[in-house]
Amino acid sequence: MQTLEIQVPYNKTRLVTDLLKELGVSVKVKSKTDIPNADTKAAMDELKAGKGTKFNSVEELFNSI
C-alpha cells in the first residue's frame, strides 16, 4: 500500500474526501495547525514591529486582564 499526502483547500476537503472514498481509497484528513490564523498573524506582526505590552512577571500580566 502506498501513502499519498495531498493539500486541498479547506472548502474542497469534503468533495475530495467523498470522491476518493467513492474510488475505494482509504482517507485520513489531517488539519494543518501550524499555520497561524489572521488574528494570530496580526498579533505576531504587531510584536515584530516592537509594539505590545511588556510585563515584569506573570502575576503582573494576569493582573492586567
Query: What is the C-alpha separation between 14 and 12, in angstroms, rounded?
Result: 6
pLDDT at 46: 94
Q: Are 52 and 46 in contact (CB under 8 A)?
A: yes
Global pTM? 0.45
Residue 29: pLDDT band with limits 50, 70, 90: confident
**How many angstroms separate the Cα of 58 from the Cα of each of 8, 48, 61, 62, 63?**
40, 21, 5, 6, 9
Residue range 45-62: average pLDDT?
A: 93
Mean pLDDT score of the chain: 90
